[in-house]
Amino acid sequence: MSQVTQQKQLITMLELQDSMNKKVHSEWLQQNFAWYRAIWIECGEMLDHYGWKWWKHQSPDLEQVKLELVDIFHFGLSCRLSDSNNYTQIAENLAYEFSDIRCGDEFRTTLEDLALNTLQTKSFNAQIFAGCMQQIGMSFDELFTTYVGKNVLNFFRQDHGYKEGTYHKKWHGQEDNEHLVEVVNSLDTSAEDFAKQVYQALKERYPS
Q: Tell whether 129 and 148 lie within a shared domain.
A: no
Domain boundary among 81, 106, 138: 138
**Distance, CA of 142 to CA of 140 (rounded, Å):** 5
Cα 126 from chain centroid? 12
Q: Which domain holds residue 180?
A: 139-208
User: Are residues 109 and 189 located together in one domain of the fold?
Assistant: no
Mean pLDDT score, 9-21: 92
Whole-angstrom Cα distance, residue 111 to residue 132?
A: 6
Q: Say if residue 1 is in the same domain as residue 36.
A: yes
Question: Model-level pTM?
Answer: 0.84
Query: What letters, b where the CB count within 10 A reaches 16 and e where it falls short, cover 176-195?
Result: beebbeebbeebebeeeebb
* Same domain flag for 130 and 145: no
Q: How confident is the model at residue 1 (pLDDT cuts 50, 70, 90)?
A: low
- As a whole number, the mean pLDDT across the chain is 91
Q: What is the mean pLDDT of residues 147-174?
A: 89
Q: 21-62: per-residue pLDDT in tens?
A: 998 788 998 988 999 999 999 999 999 989 989 898 888 888
76 and 14 within one domain: yes
